[in-house]
Structure 1
Amino acid sequence: MPRTPTPVARVLVVPSFRDWVSKILFHAAAVCALALYTIAAHAQLAEPTELVDQQHCMFCHTSDAPFLAPSFHQIAERYRDKPNASTLLEDKLRHGGKAHWGDMAMPLPDDRGGPLSAEDARTLVQWVLSQ
């Protein structure tokens, strides 16, 4: 005698309203956290105007177009993700140095507006890298 298949009970599991709301809130929180991280990662710092003026940065640089030296945006693009870039650029600001971008060297501090403290150099570099 042939076997007839026995019907299998199928149960439809419907998540509770609380589970549904919890999942929605979790995903919304994750999206908000990602958005805040993205905004913070690309936030541009306020220009340290007094330092920029004191060091005569705008004599050679502009914000977005090369002039006598690369723009701040170009510098940020080149160095933003490089390890130890801050240290290299801070040293270049504090001591001047040979050209490693085009033909123009970074002028010595005395030719730019005077010595620059490590803290002021760090402030300028962080601002440039935030461009």
Structure 2
Amino acid sequence: MKAMFPPYLAAHVVGLLLTASGAAFAQSEPTALVDQQHCMFCHTRDAPFLAPSFQQIAERYRNEPNAQVMLEHKLRVGGKAHWGDMAMPLPPDRGGPLTPEDAHTLIQWVLSQ
């Protein structure tokens, strides 16, 4: 028995499947870490605020070979300003120290923007 679907319905189903598979590959926000470290006090996902947006950071460091390691270090210990006048706050001023694994998770997410 041959199933018959109108062409528009078949195209719609294919579109939904592609969207769903793309969403499965997108990295979800590590909300607990973002909240714990108070990231949104200075950053937003897509517009500069007190610090560059996560999208700006991702764009700036996308093709930098050592960006992941450098940014993880900066996140764990703080650091001088690379953008404007505001430096990355020290961990005690952001919610406490981060493990290397948590820093890796946060930076992977930021760079995926």
Pair in the same fold by TM > 0.5? yes
Instruction: Give the distance between the partners of 2:60 and 2:31, measured in 1 at CA.
Output: 23
SS of 1:74 mapped into structure 2: helix
Offset at residue 100 of structure 1 (A): 1.1
Count of aligned pairs between the two proteins: 92
The aligned counterpart of 2:44 is 62
The aligned counterpart of 1:105 is 87
8 Å contact from structure 1 (residues 90, 122) kept in 2: yes
The aligned counterpart of 1:3 is none
Instruction: Give the distance between the partners of 2:26 and 2:106, measured in 1 at CA.
Output: 12
Instruction: Name the amino acid aligned to 1:69.
Output: A
TM (norm. structure 1) is 0.67
Instruction: Name the amino acid aligned to 1:104.
Output: M
Percent same amino acid among aligned pairs?
A: 78
Correspondence 1:49 to 2:31 = yes
Q: Structure 2 stretches of 5 or more lacking a match? A: 1-21
Which consecutive aligned stretches of 4+ in structure 1 deviate over 3 angstroms post-superposition? none
Instruction: Give the distance between the partners of 2:82 and 2:29, measured in 1 at CA.
Output: 25
Correspondence 1:114 to 2:96 = yes
The aligned counterpart of 2:75 is 93
Offset at residue 86 of structure 1 (A): 0.3
Instruction: Give the distance between the partners of 2:46 and 2:77, measured in 1 at CA.
Output: 25
Instruction: Give the distance between the partners of 1:104 and 1:44, measured in 2 at CA.
Output: 30
The aligned counterpart of 2:107 is 125
When Rg is computed on C-alpha atoms for both structures, the one with the higher figure is 1
RMSD of aligned residue pairs (Cα, Å)? 1.6
Q: Which of 80, 84, 87 matches 2:62?
A: 80
- Deviation sequence 1:14-55 (CA, Å, 0-9, x none): xxxxxxxxxxxxxxxxxxxxxxxxx6xxx5310000000000
Instruction: Give the distance between the partners of 2:86 and 2:27, measured in 1 at CA.
Output: 27
Instruction: Give the distance between the partners of 1:49 and 1:81, measured in 2 at CA.
Output: 26
8 Å contact from structure 1 (residues 44, 127) kept in 2: no
